[in-house]
Amino acid sequence: MNPNRYKLAAVHYWMRSETRKVTEISLHHGAFLAVLILVISAISCNREYQPVTESELPEHIQNIENVTLIDPFEGAVPDSMELIQETVFESSEDVFMSGNISNFAVDDAGRVFVVSSVPGHLGVYVFNSDGTYLTTIGRYGQGPGEFEALGAIDVLEDELILFDPRLQKFAVYSLNDFEKTEEKIINLSEATRINQMPAIAKGTDLKLLNNDGMVLEVGMSSLNEESDGTQIFYYKLQRDGTINPERLLEVDRHKRYFLPEREGWAIPITKPFNRSSLVSITQSGTFFTAWTEDFLIKEYDTNGDYIQSLYYPITKSDLSLDQISIADHERRMLRGEEIPDTWPALHTMELDDEGRLWIATITDSKTHFTWQVLNQKGEWIARFQKEGERSRRFVPSKPLIIIKNGYFYTHQREFRQGIDRIIKYKIQRIER
277 located within any domain? no
Residue 246: CA count within 13 A, CB half-sphere: 4
Residue range(s) defining the domain that contains residue 18 = 3-71
51 located within any domain? yes
Average pLDDT, the chain: 84
> What is each CA distance from 6 to 12, 76, 120, 310, 312, in whole angstroms?
14, 26, 57, 16, 17
Instruction: Read off the pLDDT band of 262 (50, 70, 90).
Output: low
54 φ/ψ angles, rounded to the nearest 5 degrees: -55, -40
Number of folded domains that form the chain: 1
Other beta carbons within 10 Å of 112: 21
For residue 371, is pLDDT > 70? yes
For residue range 218-227, what is the model confidence (pLDDT) as tens digits?
987 655 555 4
218 φ/ψ angles, rounded to the nearest 5 degrees: -125, 130
Instruction: Read off the pLDDT band of 388 (50, 70, 90).
Output: very high
398 located within any domain? no
Instruction: Read off the pLDDT band of 266 (50, 70, 90).
Output: low
413 located within any domain? no
Instruction: Read off the pLDDT band of 333 (50, 70, 90).
Output: confident
271 located within any domain? no
335 located within any domain? no
Contacts of 3 (CB under 8 A, 6+ apart): 28, 29, 30, 31
For position 224, what pLDDT does the model report? 54
- For residues 30-49, average pLDDT: 43
32 located within any domain? yes
404 located within any domain? no
Alpha carbon 259 to its chain centroid, in Å, reads 27
